[in-house]
Amino acid sequence: MSLTSTILNRSSDACQIYPETLYYANRISDGGVQTVFKKLTPDGEPSELSPGPSQKLWNHSPDGFQWGYGGSGPAQLALALLLDATTDPEISRNFHQAFKWDKVAGWGESWYITRHAILDWVALQESKLRLANLSQN
């Protein structure tokens, strides 16, 4: 089942409002691994986003995260963000390269993105796939 259909199939009384998760980072050096944080807003404590869970799905970068170009570190970050935001390994694997090129590769020295923005991006990609499949039939 796609993430979009999961969201759309929920009845309004079954939906719960969760605090928004903010993912962010500031480049601390010109090279090497960069630390990425996540925080529940408005008043949650920041914690480090671990590359471990995403590396178990696909180990692009044993060293961890990077951004701002199209390499293995940005691919690992894209996969980690999608996995953390969606909690769906299949969606994360299927879309992480596109997410890398659409978002992560273009980020500068500092950046942030919300879980909601990631989920909106995934829903758009799923809609594009459905439309492409319909036009082929």
Question: Measured between alpha carbons, how far is residue 16 from residues 7, 31, 61, 90 in Å?
Answer: 11, 41, 35, 24
Which two three-digit tokens encode residue 118? 């990631």
Contact (Cβ atoms closer than 8 angstroms) between residue 83 and residue 94: no
Phi, psi of 80 (to 5 degrees): -65, -45
Output the pLDDT for position 68.
Answer: 96
The band of 17, judged by pLDDT with boundaries at 50, 70 and 90, is low
Output the pLDDT for position 126.
Answer: 97
Residue numbers of the domain that contains 96: 3-136
Provide the domain count of the chain: 1
Give per-residue pLDDT as tens, 85-132: 999 999 999 999 999 999 999 999 999 999 999 999 999 999 999 999
